[in-house]
Amino acid sequence: MTTAFLHRRQFIQGLMAASLPAGLMSCAERNPNSLVVGGLPVTCNLTLPVACVAKAASNAKSAPDAPRYDFVYSKYSGWPEIKESLMAGRIQAAYMLAPLVMDLADKGIPVKIVSLGHRSGAVIMVRTDSTIQSFKQLTGKRIAIPSRFAVDLLFLRKMLAEENMTVDQLQIVEMPPPDMPAALYANAVDAYCTGEPFGAAAQSAGYARPLRMTRDEWPKYICCVLTVREELIAENRPMVQDLVNQILGAGVWLDQKQDHRNKAVEIAAGRDYFNQDPNIIRFVMENPTDRVTYGDLRMIRSEFEELMQLSIEAGTIKHPIAYEKYMDESFARVAQAATIHL
């Protein structure tokens, strides 16, 4: 039984590895200083493509014999896929849901959070013509969330708690975020809670409006965090440090001026990255400009402990997990945000 299970698992892993873009596999094989970093096509992950492009530009200007690292973005369609790749070691770094990393580390998967990726960026959307103005009016309504493990659900629960409500008073359905705007348009759901740009997609089309946004209700909200496997930390600390520096630099750069955000839209919309309509990503960057923020990527223990407590109350984490078990602050403590020239 065990042998059969292992063979099946190895077979599946082989298929999934084969599905990775050939360029990414050959790049990693060709250059041991090339690191593939997994991410989703969401604006909470925007610092990642900016960091990858900025690092490539920096390398192009450096001396041929100068030490260098290459960071390559690999797009995943959902959290289950990226989680499996990180667990199996097919990739050694990724943007992940913070509570999911806590749970993986608690279960013995050798992963550590080394940096934040963003702040804010989640919305609860209703139809423009809906009479819903308050959470009380959501009672009995059908609400879509990406997953019961998603931080978006914690945001929804947090808002409900302020109204002395619980999720039991709603009809919660799990749905891939790309399907949510169409479901709202077709009245298949009454509202949805998710990260951008899937709120902006419906809002910019004119048939949806935000009921609540984390920028207003939970501005220090964190969802996606840069996560690396512990063997990468042990084997190549300089690479991890450089990656953290690039991510922090990308965050500072993104929040410096709107022109930088416009450039980031062009990068992220490309086929090598999010492969999305640039107008929708631009809508996120402009309506309002702090819909998602990137400049403050400090890792604050109390914020993670609050996130853990909310996850315990939601039942997605079963017990408190020691901060040091899932967190490595050593890179952030000595980080120097890279200067981004794009």
Rounded to whole angstroms, the maximal C-alpha distance in the chain is 64
* C-alpha to C-alpha distance for 249 and 294, rounded to whole angstroms: 10
* pLDDT tens track for 153-175: 999 999 999 999 999 999 999 99
pTM here is: 0.87
pLDDT in tens, 53-88: 999 999 988 877 777 899 999 999 888 899 999 999
Residue 55 structure tokens: 């690092």
Residue the block writes with tokens 């493990």: 149
pLDDT in tens, 216-253: 999 889 999 999 999 999 999 999 999 999 999 999 99
Q: In the structure, how many helices (H) and strands (E) does the chain have?
A: 16, 12
Report the C-alpha gap between 171 and 257 in whole angstroms.
41
Phi, psi of 327 (to 5 degrees): -120, 140
50: amino acid identity, one letter: V
- Alpha-carbon gap, residue 62 to 53, rounded angstroms: 15
